[in-house]
Amino acid sequence: MSFQHWALQPETLFKQSVVIPVIVVNDLADVVPMAKAIVAGGINVLEVTLRTPLALEAIGLLCQQVPEAIVGAGTVTTAEQLQQCIAAGAKFAISPGFTAELLQAGKAASIPLIPGIASISELMQGIAVGYSHFKFFPAEAAGGVKTLKSIYGPFADIRFCPTGGINPNNVKDYLALPNVDCVGGSWIIPDDAVQNKDWPQITALCLAATALNTNT
């Protein structure tokens, strides 16, 4: 199935996969085989972070060559970057934080923006503009599971994708929370596997991640 002409909504994005892989592109030659290994593992959401100069080109490449994936951009921090990601073909954008300008640009954009928050005050600012789905970052450093539990009380209808310090040892604790639909993580695409082009290892890690059950 191609998502080329599918209007994605935040709630749909959060329900696609329990784990959203955080991809840092250092070599364009690795991008397509890495993405296909991830998709083979049952994950069809790919977050390509804007941490390297190759990111926008990689997003365009993946949109063309891996149409079965929902390709988005991470580490989006300005309205200008948001527009560049849309032009590259991104289906969603995720930010580690936000500015007032970025929040407004996200509401006007043709793709969903998932703003990042680390505090109640930031959350309230985002809600005031009309957002209901947020990245919680940096999750572990910002109090992790305990903080998200506390947020649930007064903001039970808000949904989160925690990212930052998530790993196989704590991922189930996050996914068990009623206000967490998915998590972001890089453990399913370890650096050594990418360097060694060990795509079967990445597929195996993704299969293990997709097997996670929030009710167990």
Active site residues: 47, 135
**Residue 33: is the preceding peptide bond cis (ω within 30°)?**
no
Structure tokens at 49: 């972070």
Residues 6+ apart with CB under 8 A from 72: 13, 45, 46, 47, 48, 59, 85, 90, 91, 92, 93, 94, 111
End-to-end CA separation in angstroms for the chain? 30
**Euclidean distance between CA atoms 36 and 66, whole angstroms:** 7
